[in-house]
Structure 1
């Protein structure tokens, strides 16, 4: 088994507060059980290798806190220092970073200094994992790239494009929540989702298998099925059969470090391979399968919406799709105990029942926007569709330089996204990026 020498630097305040705004329960799980998600991260998006954590540092403001409700439902402060022992037990070196002023605790500077120092250490660190959504880290990533080191960003919020474009790998908030909660990290892997829905979890009595042997067994089985297939193979069925055969080797390594069945198959470099969301086939021997899932129509966006899509990666959706998304999110929070990972999956499935090809990343983008726009989905009483939509649009506009848009263009954006100026709530300050 190949190991990658890795250093991880965690800006606790940035990551925890970002997750807390999205899903308080999941954020507390992240801070209370770091050893669990750290173990999963060692094989997540790592290819056919495992990360060996040579440096684990957590930068934490011991007097930092977030507003929370205690067991009696009364407002209280949840201090970050409560989680310090959890990180110590998980093997982290916890570095106190008290605030220098009202807004900064100096964690970002400490991370930069420590990471640059690590470049000149006797040990050669092959990968640097920076757990922070702070775009002030951009020069650090540029420095690491110049030294030919692989980098991963673990971010609790939407990151600036200049920041994310430099990193080799990005674990966004939705994937981080999935990692913490023990779910597949590839949030839009349709084959894995179909396996879970149709067949359930892996049987508990399957004996663990050595990872290298399991990968070779995986290769042998997939190649054999691919070569003898007379028609496109259903990925969910093949993935289920492989889970039953290889057992814990797949679950423990999250598909051998590739994070999803489809990417693990892609690593085999099968000749003339083509894949859709549900099937794989040999383009020289098989006819492409018929597309049964709804597709996002190609549309012409109004100019101001097009500019926003380019600036902040706004989903390119038809105008008439936005309101159903807000209504579906509202339906979820009115009928479920909130869990963001479940929310995105449930909402995607609900929307596809309506013929709208919306993926989980799009749902997560809108859920985050609503939260950062002043309307967290977990609030009580649950928010309405209009409140969710208005908060989302408010956040979209706050993330852009509105001075470059005329009032008519801003009105066009609000109208396209299905919200109106008079409905906008007062936003909470957006997390720094």
Structure 2
């Protein structure tokens, strides 16, 4: 099958500065190992099929820098220019974009001009991958759509809804960080990692393992976590047989006839032994300002009482682990699931990003406490609302803070 002819335009300053606020270690890995993640991006998170890179460009301010994330490094600034050779060696065409004003370089304009020029090339570029969270790129995506080209956004932060809406695919910062680390890219259910040294596993092995987990469970089982564990333990046969011929994980579970089994979107539980999990849509209606932000900023629709539980889970992770964003979201999801609380990994990632951009990144030393995480997240939500020109009165802002469990 022919590969999709693709062009990649990377605004390094925008992407790197966004990633390093969320996970410094992996952000630096992104900058030092571009060949590795570019190779993975060839066949991962695609739109119409595997990509063949015809244009690969990195737009970089040679004098750009961010504060060094490691105080022990002995230097205050981490300059972008030190990463230039890694991109050159990976086959990128590096375009120097020095700062034209105190706050702005010309990367976005250069990217737009180059992408529009590419539309006039004799070669038809079928997919344009724009690595930038800058919503100023929205008119470019509209132009590419009008030319019937596929578009993918790689955003290091929570991009504007109008920007996302125009693209065919959004690659989030969490997906990008997973890609950089070589992890299976998925939000709530990971790919298999086990080998089958003793031959393919059987449906009976699947049945026995599930029943043992189900009977031993002290509370509702999170479906994503259970599927992840089973894939790791049972190996590739799970996917090769599409869950033993049932076409899906939940249908395979239902075939087992588990006693008193009840299912929700994210959990399975024994109605005779377990209390039903809290549902992320089960609470009373949110105040109108919160509903407005959910619609316009994709704020997760969690009930009021769940927000403090998310903050506490993230605080517990930060205080007991060396920070890694993809691990943090998975760990917090599973910690909440063990408490019978149904929160998706995507919602936890949204909070983690907001906390970082709000000034309390989880990798900070000392790690932020739950109340600091709550305050930083609420600050970020309200700052994003202001940036998106979403009007909120002082009373409405107070309602949002109260709903999110943040106190002034």
Alpha-carbon displacement from aligned partner over 1:253-294 (angstroms, at most 9, x marks no partner): xxxxxxxx69x969xxx9xx875xx423699x9999741444
Give the SS at the match of 1:152.
Answer: strand
Rate the CA distance shift 1:298–1:380 in 2: closer, same or farther, 3 A.
same
1:342 and 2:313 are equivalent in the alignment: no
Asked if the contact 2:194–2:231 (Cα under 8 Å) also holds between the matched residues in 1, the reply is no
In the alignment, the residues of structure 1 paired with residue 184 and residue 74 of structure 2 have an alpha-carbon distance, to the nearest angstrom, of: 35
| Kept in 1: contact 2:196–2:235 (CA 8 A) | no
Q: What is the correspondence of 1:227-306 to structure 2 with a 5 Å cutoff?
A: 244=236, 275=248, 278-280=249-251, 290-291=262-263, 292-293=267-268, 294=277, 295-299=279-283, 300-306=285-291
Query: Could you give the per-residue CA deviations for residues 281-316 of structure 1, whole angstroms, max 9, x where no partner exists?
Result: 699x99997414444233311112111111211111
What residue number does 2:92 align with? 92
1:398 pairs with 2:395: no
Change (3 A) 1:313 1:245: closer
Alignment of 1:19-418 (within 5 A): 19-46=19-46, 49-68=49-68, 72-189=72-189, 192=190, 195=192, 201-203=193-195, 244=236, 275=248, 278-280=249-251, 290-291=262-263, 292-293=267-268, 294=277, 295-299=279-283, 300-401=285-386, 404-418=391-405
Q: Structure 1 residue 244: deviation in Å?
A: 3.9
The alignment's TM-score, normalised by the length of structure 2, stands at 0.82
- Within 2, Cα distance between the matches of 1:85 and 1:354? 48
Per-residue deviation, 1:18: 0.3
Contact 1:235 1:280 in 2 (8 A): no
| Partner SS, residue 121 of structure 1 | coil
Contact 1:14 1:134 (8 Å CA) reproduced: yes
**Could you tell me whether the CA contact under 8 Å between 2:194 and 2:234 is conserved in 1?**
no
Structure 1: runs of 5 or more not aligned: 196-200, 207-220, 222-233, 247-260, 422-433
Distance 1:184 1:302 in 2: 37
RMSD (CA atoms): 3.1
**Count of aligned pairs between the two proteins:** 366
Quote the Cα distance in structure 2 between the aligned partners of 1:403 and 1:123: 42
Change (3 A) 1:109 1:330: same
Distance verdict in 2 for CA 1:116–1:48, change over 3 Å: closer
Structure 1 window deviating more from structure 2 (304-313 vs 50-59): it is: 304-313
2:215 is matched with none
In the superposition, relative to structure 1, how do residues 240 and 93 fare at CA in structure 2: closer, same or farther (>3 Å)? Answer: same
> In the TM superposition, what whole-angstrom CA distance separates every residue of 1:128-149 from its partner, at most 9, and x where no partner exists?
0000000000000001001111
Does the aligned pair in 2 maintain the 1:235–1:279 contact within 8 Å? Answer: no
Consecutive unaligned residues of structure 2, counting only runs of 5 or more, are 203-225, 269-276
Describe the shift of the 1:265–1:245 C-alpha distance in structure 2 as closer, same or farther (beyond 3 A). Answer: closer
The equivalent residue for 2:16 is 16
Q: Distance in 2 between matches of 1:385 and 1:27?
A: 25
Shift of 1:10: 0.3
Does the CA contact (< 8 Å) of 2:5 and 2:127 recur in 1? yes
Shift of 1:409: 2.2
Displacement after TM superposition at 1:49 (Å): 3.2
Asked if the contact 2:194–2:233 (Cα under 8 Å) also holds between the matched residues in 1, the reply is no
Q: Deviations over 1:25-50 (max 9, x none)?
A: 11000000000000110011226732
Checking the alignment, whether the CA contact within 8 Å between 1:69 and 1:75 is kept in structure 2 is no
Q: How does 1:414-429 map to 2 (within 5 A)?
A: 414-421=401-408
Aligned equivalents of 2:197 and 2:124: distance in 1?
40
In the alignment, the residues of structure 2 paired with residue 131 and residue 69 of structure 1 have an alpha-carbon distance, to the nearest angstrom, of: 23
CA gap 1:349/1:388 in 2 versus in 1, 3 angstroms: same
